[in-house]
A = this chain, B = another copy of it.
Amino acid sequence: MDNFNFYSPTEFVFGKGRESECGKYVKKYGGTKVLIHYGGGSVVRSGLLDRVKASLAAENIPFVELGGVQPNPIDTKVYEGIGLCRSEGVNFILAVGGGSVIDSSKAIAVGALYDGDFWDFYDNKAAVEKALPVGTVLTIAAAGSEGSGNTVITKTDGMWKRGAGGDALRPKFSVMNPELTYTLPAYQTACGATDIMAHVLERYFTNTKEVEITDRLCEAVLCTIIKEVPRVLKNPEDYNARANIMWAGTVAHNNVCGVGREQDWNSHGLEHELSGIYDCAHGAGLAVIMPAWMEFVMPHNVMRFAQLAVRVFGTAMNFEAPEETARLGIKAFRKFLHEIGMPVNFAELGAKEEDIPRFAEKFSVTKIGNNGVTGGFVKLTKEDAVTIYKIALNASV
């Protein structure tokens, strides 16, 4: 096990109706002038935004609003938010929405206290050290951004999708009411679940030896998703199933499943080029990329893939041919993704073969350093990226 620090100071406020308490928590964490940041019309239509405002009003906390965050949040909205925070003297940002809104809020939070261009943090030109405090009211179980110090933003000039992170960006509190996810369409529910599984699998595939506790925790999250997602697709208002998925999404990404081990994250990198260019859902892109990446890297550690197959997908171990077990595990993963309505190849995602060189080029520029490779579990070259995109192109269940 590698040395590590684990620090997850966010207060999670979980359960039915808890959004009515968000004013109380803003006050607890020092907010006296709030920016409410949100996305499209669903938080307005559902009445959630009004409940959040009422909760702030009940604590006599003034606020300004900035809506219109889009999936795959973009830099122009961040600049708008930074300007608003400065002109209005905002000292707390309340994100009401999913990963995109939270990520946009974090970008505003760090940018508002920085003299230069906030993109510097995403361009590795500046390190996150201070930020306005952020709280969240989560509306989709997926990104894990409610418990993480990470944020991903797309720069519209060139459609560069990049991440930044630091402990200062960990939310002070996150309100998580599973009821708020009842109205999520099946497709978005499944995209979220895929993202959760990917967050675990990026940590699961490691070259660090003998990390049983984190292996088992990863498997716990994966088994939960596999059990609960079909239940919510059948009954979108199954509270317990929604609640299990929502808490699993947090556990999957606050790094309790990933400490002390080398992680990979190449599937996220490969996917970011797809959703950066097509504006498809991140989870859908992962459903296409991750099994393809698995097929490519599986020979690197057959027994680790066999462990996944046996412990998570219930595959019988083939002791004479472990690689057969490993292959069946990947197949079961892709079949699960298909069954919950995810795309498994380029055509189903709406991606085009002729764009592969462009993906690989951007992946290479964003991720691959001077040494010509990137990644933890298996180091990938630009040519490897092309191969993986081609596996994804024609994949089938």
Binding site for B on A (CB under 8 A): 1-16, 18, 178, 209-214, 216-217, 219-221, 223-224, 227-228, 239-241, 243-244, 247-248, 251, 256, 259-260
Contacts of A209 in B (CB 8 A): 240
User: Complex formed: what's the CA distance from A241 to B7 in Å?
Assistant: 22
User: Complex formed: what's the CA distance from A240 to B213 in Å?
Assistant: 10
Given known contacts A4-B15, A5-B11, A6-B14, A221 and B213 CB-to-CB distance under 8 angstroms: yes
Sample of 22 A–B contacts (CB below 8 Å): A1-B239, A1-B240, A1-B243, A1-B247, A3-B16, A3-B18, A4-B15, A5-B11, A5-B14, A6-B12, A7-B10, A14-B259, A15-B260, A210-B241, A211-B244, A212-B244, A213-B248, A216-B219, A216-B221, A219-B220, A247-B260, A251-B256
Given known contacts A6-B14, A14-B6, A227 and B212 CB-to-CB distance under 8 angstroms: yes
Check A217 against B5 for contact (C-beta < 8 Å).
no
Task: Kindly list 7 other residue pairs between chains A and B, CB separation below 8 angstroms, not including A4-B15, A7-B11, A210-B240.
Answer: A6-B11, A7-B10, A7-B12, A8-B8, A212-B224, A216-B220, A216-B223
Check A244 against B213 for contact (C-beta < 8 Å).
yes
Contacts of A214 in B (CB 8 A): 247
User: Complex formed: what's the CA distance from A259 to B256 in Å?
Assistant: 15
Contact of A251 among B217, B241, B248 (CB under 8 A): B217
User: Complex formed: what's the CA distance from A22 to B239 in Å?
Assistant: 44
Contacts of A219 in B (CB 8 A): 216, 220
Stoichiometry (number of copies):
2
Q: How close is A7's CB to chain B, nearest CB, in angstroms? A: 4
Q: How close is A66's CB to chain B, nearest CB, in angstroms? A: 28
Check A224 against B220 for contact (C-beta < 8 Å).
no
User: Complex formed: what's the CA distance from A223 to B16 in Å?
Assistant: 32
Contact of A244 among B8, B9, B210 (CB under 8 A): B210
User: Complex formed: what's the CA distance from A9 to B12 in Å?
Assistant: 11
Check A220 against B210 for contact (C-beta < 8 Å).
no
Nearest-neighbor residue (CB-CB) of A250 within chain B: B6
Check B5 against A12 for contact (C-beta < 8 Å).
yes
User: Complex formed: what's the CA distance from A13 to B259 in Å?
Assistant: 11
User: Complex formed: what's the CA distance from A203 to B244 in Å?
Assistant: 16
Check A247 against B221 for contact (C-beta < 8 Å).
no
User: Complex formed: what's the CA distance from A31 to B117 in Å?
Assistant: 36
Nearest-neighbor residue (CB-CB) of A177 within chain B: B3
Nearest-neighbor residue (CB-CB) of A174 within chain B: B6
Contacts of A16 in B (CB 8 A): 3
User: Complex formed: what's the CA distance from A211 to B178 in Å?
Assistant: 13
Question: Which among A13, A210, A251 has the highest number of chain B CB atoms within 10 Å?
Answer: A210
Check A224 against B213 for contact (C-beta < 8 Å).
yes
Contacts of A243 in B (CB 8 A): 1, 260
Contacts of A178 in B (CB 8 A): 1
Contacts of A11 in B (CB 8 A): 5-7, 9
Contacts of A240 in B (CB 8 A): 1, 209-211
Q: How close is A371's CB to chain B, nearest CB, in angstroms? A: 26
Contact of A4 among B2, B6, B14, B216 (CB under 8 A): B14
User: Complex formed: what's the CA distance from A223 to B311 in Å?
Assistant: 12
User: Complex formed: what's the CA distance from A251 to B239 in Å?
Assistant: 26
Contact of A260 among B5, B14, B224 (CB under 8 A): B14
Contacts of A212 in B (CB 8 A): 223-224, 227-228, 244
Nearest-neighbor residue (CB-CB) of A15 within chain B: B3
Nearest-neighbor residue (CB-CB) of A252 within chain B: B213
Nearest-neighbor residue (CB-CB) of A242 within chain B: B1
Check B247 against A213 for contact (C-beta < 8 Å).
yes
Q: How close is A27's CB to chain B, nearest CB, in angstroms? A: 16
User: Complex formed: what's the CA distance from A227 to B216 in Å?
Assistant: 11
Nearest-neighbor residue (CB-CB) of A25 within chain B: B5
